[in-house]
Every structure is written in C-alpha cells, then in structure tokens.
Amino acid sequence: MKRTQIMIVIVCAITATIMAVGVFVAIRYWCPGTICILMSDATELYCPSKGLESIPLGCLNSHSEVETLHLQRNNISVVCKDDLKMMSSLRVLDLSQNRINNIEPGALNSLENLEELRLFDNKLASVPSLVHNPEVSSVWLYRNEIIYVPEEVFAPGVKVDLRLQGNKFNTLHARTFFEVANGTQLAIDHGVTICAKDEQELEQLLGIYIRIWVEGTAVELENVSRVC
C-alpha cells in the first residue's frame, strides 16, 4: 500500500473514532431530536430502540418535568446513582428489554411519585430497593437473573403488583412482605417458597392478604409459605 493510501486510512480511522466519541457525548449529555421525542402533551418522553448504552442525561435534564419515560429496547447496562435525580415528577419508568445488571444504591430514591417500574427482560441479580417510593403500585421484574430478594424492598403500606417469574431464586423472605398492604399481588414460578424463620413470622405473614399467582394460576398464600 502506498504511503498516501496509508495516511488516508489512518486519518479516516481517527475521524471515525472522533465521530463515535462525539455521538456518545451527544447522546449522554445533550438531547438530539433523533434520540428522544417529547410527546405532544409534554408529559411523556419517548426514547426506545435507539441503541442507547446509558441513560441520556441531556434529554432527562432538558425534560425533567415528564411523568412517563420510555427507555425500553436499548442496550443500557447500568443505572447510576445520579442518573434520575432530576426526575421527581416521574410516574412511569420503562427500562424493560435492556441489559441492565446494576441499579446503583439510591438510584431510584428521588422518584417519590413513581407508580410503575418496568424492568422485565434485563440481567438484574437482585431486586432494587423501593423504600423511598411510597406511591409504587406496579413492579415488573420477570425474566431477569434474580437470585436474591432483600427483606426490605417496599415503603410501608404500599399495595403492589410484583411480578418475579422467570428468575433464579427458590425462596423469598416472609419479612419482604410485612410492610405491604392487603391486596398486594405476587407472581412467582412453581417451586418458589416464602420462608418464615419461625411460627410467629409465618402467622404474621398469613395475616396479610396477598394474592399469589404461580405460572398464571391463583393459589393460596399458605400453600407457598412455611417455616424454613
């Protein structure tokens, strides 16, 4: 290859790298119109299927007043602690069908009005804390890689539709549900057990009206709960 041709190849490679970095910076910190669309009522920000690898901070900072945020079907892997700190008006957050394996502690704390959290079809190993989200009523976490559900997940008194089917855990803590309101619904796989540490905990658990769905079939809470 001639020297001139080699120089052209090098220049093109450098230019392509600069352009790629520039596009990444634009997506992360600015808000190109091709990335997110603010819907006509100005309460819904629509950013699905854009190949995003991180939360588009520029778009969120420009439209922090929205109530619904669509980020589904992207390539996001991490939700950083400060990514959503400006989104206190958010009621619906859709992060489904990404590659999320980590939601940093505190990342959802500022979402005090959050009602629906859609995180299905990701790679999470644990359920994120929602103790600072007193309005949450729908949490969809099915088809992740969850092996652990903490004892403290929800704010006191929430009535939640929790969908956990298609994960890797076999047991749940009874204490996870001590603070939820009557009428909470839980969808799990066949073979999952809700474990109480003693008879007193089991009695407390069974005193809560929780509707259980096992692979689409309604079952009694007592049939999936025991001391273990």
Closest CA to 52 of 23, 73, 74: 74
Q: Which residue has the tokens 């006191």?
A: 156
Q: What is the dihedral of CA 167, 186, 203, 201, to 10 degrees?
A: 40
The secondary structure element, H or E, covering residue 15 is helix 3-29
Smallest CA-to-CA distance from 71 within 85, 91, 53 is with: 53
Residues 32-58: pLDDT tens digits? Answer: 656 899 988 899 999 999 999 999 998
Residues near 189 by beta carbon (within 8 Å), at least 6 away in sequence: 164, 165, 166, 167, 214, 215
Per-residue confidence (pLDDT) for residue 41, from 0 to 100: 86
Residue pLDDT, tens place only, 91-147: 999 999 999 999 999 999 999 999 999 999 999 999 999 999 999 999 999 999 999
- What are 150-191's pLDDT values in tens digits? 999 999 999 999 999 999 999 999 999 999 999 999 999 999
pLDDT confidence bin for 78, thresholds 50/70/90? very high
